[in-house]
A and B are shown apart, each in its own frame.
Chain A
Amino acid sequence: MNAKKKRRLAFAAALIVAGAGAAVLIVSALKDNVLYFRSPTDVADKVVREGVAFRLGGLVEKGSLHHGAGAQVSFTVTDGKSAVPVSYNGVLPALFREGQGVVALGAVGNGGTFEATEVLAKHDEKYMPPEVVESLKRSGRWKEGEQ
């Protein structure tokens, strides 16, 4: 009986220690490693600090796409209310189009330009990132063209 109790105790203790360890790890990691989703209006309102990474979503402004030296590209992301200039050194996704939804990962540099490390576009014509839809709805520009 004694051995059995000891084993149960050891089992419970191991679980609790591991659980506590995992919880500490999770909470501390979540604190600093979460990417917030922001709209261009959020950026204009200075919700985000310089150099802090976040995901910027909105529409690619028509006529804003410019190719720079090498693989450098720049474009503007808008939610109809505010616009943020974005620069990116990389290959744009195949489905990247002016006037359509985009989500970019990166941070605002000291010139006020959003420096993207990754650009994601929707997977097909019917699909729009839900976060982008949300931010367009908030700025009152959702489905504007269709009405």
Chain B
Amino acid sequence: MTGELGQLALCFALALSLVMAGAGLAGARLDATGARRTANGAAMGLLVFVGLAFGTLTYAFVTSDFSVALVANHSSTLKPLIYKISGVWGNHEGSMLLWVLVLAIYAALVAGLQRGGERLTSAALGVQGLLAAAFILFILFTSNPFLRLDPAPFEGAGLTPLLQDPGLAMHPPMLYAGYVGLSAAFSYAAAALLVGEEAARQQWARAARPFMLIAWIALTCGIALGSWWAYYELGWGGFWFWDPVENASLMPWLVGTALLHSALATERTGAFRTWTLLLAIAGFSLSLIGTFLVRSGVLSSVHSFASDPTRGFFIMVLIALAIGGALALFAWRAPGLQGGAPFETISRETALLLNNVFLVAACACVFVGTLYPLVLDAVNGTKISVGPPYYALTFAPIFFALLLLVPFGPRLGWKRGDLKSAWRSLYPALGLAAVAAVAVLAIISPRTVAATGAFAVAGWLIGASILDVRKRKGARASAFAAALAHAGLGVTLLGVAGTTAWRSEALTVLAPGQIMTVGPYTLRFDGVTREKGPNYIADRAHIALMDDGKVKATLLPEHRLYPTEGQDMNDTAIRTTGLRDLYLALGDDRGQGRFTIRAYVSPLAPLIWLGGLVMALGGCLSLFGRLRVRATEPQASAQALAAE
């Protein structure tokens, strides 16, 4: 019964999303109070029914109901519970259902919070309804997760072992919360254009800001999780591979970051009004393109579940309609927008403008690097790949330039800033940058220009953030949001520079009892034992970390075989001091108890993800500040609006 119940719920959800679309768009008119009420109700109903469909599928996975084809193909009774649950989105159909669930959650939030007034909310719900309807149709027609299998097999085919990992269990929901969160910004932007009333056009950026923030926080966490997973799971010690699938999540993040900054100017002074609308459209468009790249199977990767051409075609049409429709609306309505207040050349607005220019340029580099191989293949069948050297030449210098300018932004006043006093107030940060650079040159070898520069810039960013916090002592927590997010960039930069410049690597074949050294560590190989996990068999290496002839710790890298899935993979062992990782991977069996062991020492590696966490924390501070201001000072924000 569960499969049919889920299918039925999804059909109801489709009907409700169409109602929400129709009523929401109708509610954009001035006197359509009834339609607005219907749209709000439909948004809640949509959440209930999509939630029911998703819950049904999850139940089928948890109870290993192999009469549902999807469960039989992607799960097994032997998996631990957490991977039965994460198996729901560890496949194409389930992940699309998760996408729609997140969309429904955002729609319900939009309806519940009613930000930016009734008409704007209603129009945003209308657009959100159109998106939901399109995606539910996509699921029902090309990727139905509830298809039955008769007879039901006794055991399922299992889940790719690469995905059986706690980090990766959370990675897709995080990324989707980010991707789809940008849909709320997109819907608000389209709504502002649709409503056409001057007030709505001014308020939409403020109304959509919490959604932009949630999306940005989720994207930041999702990308960090994905990179962390690649680091400890793939066994190469790298943290970012410029894989097209990684790029697909990085592009919305870059544009989303630009949007957060540009929207700030739009809601404060009304500057960049048109540009912010365009960014909101671009951000979600890139999310859709990312989904297309990842899910349609045009890229070869772990992520491409589907290689069904009808799905790719359907998503392409969906993207074309969403992006084309939004851009057409933009072209039609944007020329009527009033310009914002003027600003001087030296001002906060100019700083935000530069931020946007650099971020968009960086995104363009990633975009070209990701899509050029696909285009070339389609044009003349030449197969190429674009690797790290390309990004080192394009993305890196642009992003570096952006980081240099970051500390100036918060120091320049709106409309008119004072560059000299901003510069003077940054002297201590400059000092910290110099100290960092000198320390790197003096203490750590090998000396590299890139690492020295990176440390200087990181010192510059973190120093400026410390100054910001000091200056605003006693202010509300949300005042520190920007400082925290910018400091996070510096922390990540330290990690990236440390691992890239000073990583040491050792690769040897060892017999039991033999010793190897890597960086400052001495390791003794104590042989391999056969272990049995819940759904795998592992060769577990016992490697002792030696300190003055005594065993200080034992590390256990594994090589696992998953019999159900017929696959095997590595499980690395990482010992971290917080500032330095010792990273071990077990390689091939060379006979007579001898194994290849790969060891890395990665200085500062944990800072890469810590920085991401700090950035996300900055986003959270800003978000809670927003929601509290709204809850406690409605008059104040109304007055602020009136004053503008």
A residues near B (Cβ < 8 Å) are 3-4, 7-8, 10-11, 14-15, 18-19, 21-22, 25-26, 28-30, 32-37, 55, 67, 70-71, 73, 89-92, 94-95, 123-125, 129-131, 134
A3 to B100, CA, bound (A): 45
**Cα-based distance from A123 to B163 in the complex (angstroms):** 11
- The answer on a CB contact under 8 Å between B361 and A21 is yes
A-B contact pairs, 15 of them (CB 8 A): A7-B271, A7-B342, A11-B272, A30-B390, A33-B386, A36-B382, A36-B384, A37-B384, A71-B596, A91-B598, A92-B588, A95-B568, A123-B160, A123-B302, A124-B566
Nearest B residue to A123 by beta-carbon distance? Answer: B302
Q: At the interface with chain A, which of B62-70, B244-252, B351-359?
A: B351-359
Chain B 248-282 interface mask (CB, 8 Å, partner A; 1/0): 00000000000000000000000110010000000
Across-interface contacts of A30 in B (CB, < 8 A): 368-369, 372, 386, 390
User: What residue of chain B has the Cβ atom nearest to residue A37's Cβ?
Assistant: B383
Partner of A26, one of B364, B373, B559: B364
> CA A3 – CA B354 in complex, angstroms?
18
Bound complex: CA A75 to CA B585 (Å) = 22
Contact: A91 with B585, CB < 8 Å? yes
Do the beta carbons of A35 and B353 come within 8 Å of each other?
no
Q: How far is the CA of A95 from the CA of B353 in the complex (A)?
A: 48
Chain B residues lying within 8 Å of A4, measured Cβ to Cβ, are 339, 342
The segment from B6-14, B391-399, B472-480 that touches chain A is: B391-399
Please determine whether A35 and B587 come into contact, CB atoms closer than 8 angstroms. Answer: no
- Interface mask (B121-134 → A, CB under 8 Å = 1, otherwise 0): 00000000000000
Residues in chain A near residue B508, CB distance under 8 A: 70-71
| Interface check B637, CB cutoff 8 A | no
List the 6 shortest-distance A-B pairs measured between CB atoms, nearest first: A3-B342, A37-B383, A91-B587, A29-B393, A22-B361, A33-B390
| B363, chain A: closest CB distance, angstroms | 9
- Shortest C-beta distance, B598 to chain A (Å), equals 5
**Shortest CB–CB separation between residue B360 and chain A, in angstroms?**
8
Beyond A18-B358, A26-B368, A129-B300, is A34–B507 a contact (Cβ under 8 Å)?
Answer: no
CB pair A22 B394 closer than 8 Å: yes
B240 contacts the other chain (CB 8 A): no
| A28 & B585 in contact (Cβ 8 Å cutoff) | no
Chain A residues with CB below 8 A from B383, complex form: 36-37, 131, 134
Label chain B's interface by main secondary structure: mixed
Verify if B155 is at the interface (C-beta below 8 Å from A).
no
B546 within 8 A of A: no
Q: Is the CB of B365 within 8 A of A25?
A: yes
**Interface flag for B549 (CB, 8 Å):** no
Q: How far is the CA of A19 from the CA of B356 in the complex (A)?
A: 12
Shortest Cβ distance from A17 into B: residue: B357
**B386 lies within 8 A of A91 (CB):** no
B343 contacts A by Cβ under 8 Å: yes
Flag if B384 contacts A35 (CB, 8 Å). yes
Residue B306 at the chain A interface, CB threshold 8 Å:
no
Q: Which parts of B522-581 form the interface with A (CB within 8 Å)?
A: 559, 565-570
- Additional A-B contact list (19), CB under 8 Å, known A29-B393, A124-B160: A4-B339, A7-B342, A11-B275, A18-B358, A18-B360, A19-B361, A29-B394, A30-B368, A55-B385, A67-B588, A71-B587, A73-B588, A89-B507, A92-B587, A123-B162, A124-B565, A124-B567, A131-B300, A131-B383
**Beta-carbon contact of B507 and A91 below 8 Å:** yes
**With a CB–CB cut-off of 8 A, which chain A residues contact B630?**
none
List the interface of chain B (C-beta within 8 A of A): 160, 162, 235, 271-272, 275, 300, 302, 339, 342-343, 345, 350, 353-354, 357-358, 360-361, 364-365, 368-369, 372-373, 382-387, 389-390, 393-394, 397-398, 507-509, 559, 565-570, 585, 587-588, 590, 596, 598
Cα distance, A51 to B342, chains bound together (Å): 57
With the chains together, A73 CA to B295 CA distance in Å? 36
Contacts A33-B387, A134-B383 known; A67 to B565 CB distance under 8 Å? no
For the complex, what is the distance from the CA of A36 to the CA of B373, rounded to whole Å?
A: 10
Cβ B385 vs Cβ A25 within 8 A: no
Which residues does chain B contribute within 8 Å of A25, judged by CB atoms? 365, 393-394, 397-398
Kindly provide the distance from the CB of A12 to the nearest chain B CB, expressed in whole angstroms: 11
B386 touches A94 (CB 8 A): no
Measured between beta carbons, the chain B residues less than 8 angstroms from A36 are 382-384
Query: What is the CA–CA distance of A131 and B383 in the complex, to the nearest angstrom?
Result: 7
Q: Contact at A15–B357, with CB atoms within 8 Å?
A: yes
B393 pairs with A7, CB closer than 8 A: no
Shortest C-beta distance, A136 to chain B (Å), equals 13
| Distance between A26 CB and nearest chain B CB, rounded to angstroms | 5
| B354 partner, pick from A14, A33, A55, beta carbons under 8 A | A14
B384, A34: Cβ atoms under 8 Å? Answer: yes
In the assembled complex, the CB of A122 is this many whole angstroms from the nearest CB of chain B, namely: 9
Check if B566 sits within 8 Å of A125, measured CB to CB: yes
The docked-state distance in angstroms from the alpha carbon of A2 to that of B360 is 27
Taken together as a complex, chains A and B put the C-alpha atoms of A67 and B594 apart, in Å, by 12
Q: What is the bound-complex CA distance between A94 and B234, given in angstroms? A: 10
Contact status A94-B569, CB under 8 Å: yes
Residue of B nearest to A55 (CB): B385
Could you tell me if B567 and A125 are in contact, using CB atoms closer than 8 angstroms? yes
CB < 8 Å neighbour of B387 from A21, A35, A123: A35
Contact of A14 among B357, B384, B565 (CB under 8 A): B357
Contact A34 B386 (CB under 8 A): yes
Distance in Å: Cβ of B206 to nearest Cβ of chain A = 22
Question: CA A11 – CA B347 in complex, angstroms?
Answer: 13
Contact A94 B559 (CB under 8 A): yes
A34 touches B567 (CB 8 A): no
The residue of chain A having its C-beta at the shortest distance from the C-beta of B587 within the complex is A91
- In the complex where A22-B364, A70-B509, A91-B596 touch, is A28 in contact with B300 (Cβ < 8 A)? no
A33 to B385, CA, bound (A): 9
Q: Which residues of B contact A131 (CB under 8 A)?
A: 300, 383
Q: A14-B354, A123-B162 are in contact. Are A35 and B386 (CB under 8 A)?
A: yes
| B389 to chain A: closest residue by CB | A33
User: Which residues of A sit under 8 angstroms from B596, Cβ to Cβ?
Assistant: 71, 91
Residues of A close to B509: CB separation below 8 A: 70-71
